[in-house]
Structure 1
């Protein structure tokens, strides 16, 4: 779950303490729950079990509330429960999620904290989900920079790394990648068809149709088209 926010973690822990629970499970309603463990509730809406996808009945597969695989738990009771886990399932595996049934059997309080945004809880179980998560992360990063005052032309063609810093007022044109700890100062114009990797681009610099790696471009420098710069080069 690469997108679980600090707020969700904090709220889940606060709920765990407030409810005086022995085990709190992070859950969400997912529109495509395939591959996830399903949250099973009783007639009182209390969580009684988590059933993994391959062990689900047809009815259980229709459940959209999924296990987020994040838990707040009394560690002493957890260690006791782990000793009781058996490999009684279709995979002949030991499921940590079986602690839910064990806790309920012992009379311990099990609670669920449901995240409102299912995308936070989406995991990666196959290559399709990996591609979906990569695209969601790319969009999230683009959105952050747009909100911070960066102009991005045709955002669907632009990739910005999670560790990249771009100052407000910069312009990123289409088909541009900026990755690996790069820094882009204000009023820069980067692109189109440009890649900047592990480099520092000074204020007001302009780069187009070029590749910049492991280098520093000073303020107001114009580069491109068709320039390749690397090996700790400093352009001033």
Structure 2
């Protein structure tokens, strides 16, 4: 048998029970679509070509494939007439497929790459016409049963609705994942008929036809039955999410990551976490997030597409497309928006928001500040209530804050503006012109006090009585 491999992924159904305008295979599961998880597993078998059968909402599925797997080939199934018909459409569209053809459903996201690789290897070494991946489950209701002969060889697969009482008692079920010899698959597909309860062409019938023609049919029983679970509605999708969460968290903890509460920790399959990271409860790590060794994340923190350096701390904060340097500290209640970059040992504290901002080594904005479209030099200090006014209603402008600069509390830096190295900005200033290195920028009205204003304008008030007591004046009775 040829060692050449190809794969056909069935993704033509809408999944009406999902109650969604989005096709079922595009629903997200911890960092990838259902289809994306299947494509990743399939890729591990080294297929020369990957054909995805699309149908309902085909444009959406094609657009997704262009984004996540541009090497795949989408084939359109105009009418969904069963799994056998879907594979027929794929084989007709790509008539030169040879060797081993892996067929998988696009809604089985828990399938491990190593399991699919084992299926392909067993199939090829055994010289089977077809090899099916099966699972033994506690409740096989609704699933196709694997019918074997007295010697244990696979005879056929019977759909639940077509099974008799004896067949329904079988607990070994079909995963809808197969390895076929391409030539034999093409030959037997042409013999399918729709004489069944659904009036469809069943791919499962190919196995019985091949066996009747004298070809060997094999099976690989998966150790973990959850690998072959699919989903038909959002409740089942939530169940798959919980299973995958447990799998991901268990693998990370065994690799050296500490999780104080795995049940409240949600980490996408696409995330990378190094050993000796400490994760507190209520953490979500999403997308292309990567956390380096010794970092401490959480509690109650969400990081999306964010890079966290070694020994950094992120506490009760949100970050999206940000970079947090080694030993930096973020939070609590900070918000790092896209293109925020914190250098080594920088600090962004409580209720600080950054966007398209570079915070230099050792620089700090400890509380209640907005730094948008800004560059902050090394060891600069940003006081409480500081704002970089970066937007003029039409365009964004940049603020440059130099090394060792000190920005006093409640100051507004109106961009474009530059604060030089070592310069100071007095508290409460609104800065509209550059401040040169080492200078003090002051932009506020001179303070004035109006003598006895309270006694004249607010006589008899709490303030008036307090002021008189402070001055040692006698209060007027009944005032």
Residue matched to 1:219: 326
Q: Would the aligned equivalents of 1:35 and 1:125 in 2 still touch at CA under 8 Å?
A: no
Unaligned segments of structure 1, at least 5 residues: none
In 1: Cα distance, 2:234 partner to 2:192 partner: 30
In 2: Cα distance, 1:125 partner to 1:138 partner: 19
Residue matched to 1:78: 185
Q: Would the aligned equivalents of 1:185 and 1:203 in 2 still touch at CA under 8 Å?
A: yes
Residue matched to 1:203: 310
Choose the corresponding residue for 2:195, options 88, 91, 99.
88
Residue matched to 1:160: 267
Are 1:23 and 2:140 matched, yes or no?
no
Residue matched to 2:115: 8
Q: Give CA-to-partner distance per residue, 1:148-169, whole Å, 9 cap, x none.
A: 1111111100001111111111
Q: What is the TM-score when the length of structure 2 is the normalising length?
A: 0.47
Q: 1:128 to 1:58 in 2, by over 3 A?
A: farther
Q: What is the TM-score when the length of structure 1 is the normalising length?
A: 0.93
Choose the corresponding residue for 1:171, options 278, 299, 302.
278
Aligned length: 236
Choose the corresponding residue for 1:139, options 246, 271, 279.
246
Q: CA deviation at 1:59?
A: 2.9
Q: CA deviation at 1:223?
A: 1.4
Q: Give CA-to-partner distance per residue, 1:110-164, whole Å, 9 cap, x none.
A: 1222222212222224433322211111111101110111111111000011111
Q: CA deviation at 1:37?
A: 1.1
Runs of 4+ in 1 over 6 A off after TM superposition: none
Between 1:174-183 and 1:57-66, the stretch displaced more is: 57-66
Larger radius of gyration: 2
Residue matched to 2:216: 109
Q: Give CA-to-partner distance per residue, 1:33-90, whole Å, 9 cap, x none.
A: 2332111122332222111222223332221101122222221111111111111111
Q: Give CA-to-partner distance per residue, 1:1-45, whole Å, 9 cap, x none.
A: 323333323333333234332111111211222332111122332
Unaligned segments of structure 2, at least 5 residues: 1-107, 344-479
Between 1:10-19 and 1:146-155, the stretch displaced more is: 10-19
**Secondary structure in 2 matching 1:25:** strand
Q: Give CA-to-partner distance per residue, 1:85-106, whole Å, 9 cap, x none.
A: 1111111111111112211221
In 1: Cα distance, 2:117 partner to 2:290 partner: 31
Residue matched to 1:232: 339
Residue matched to 1:148: 255
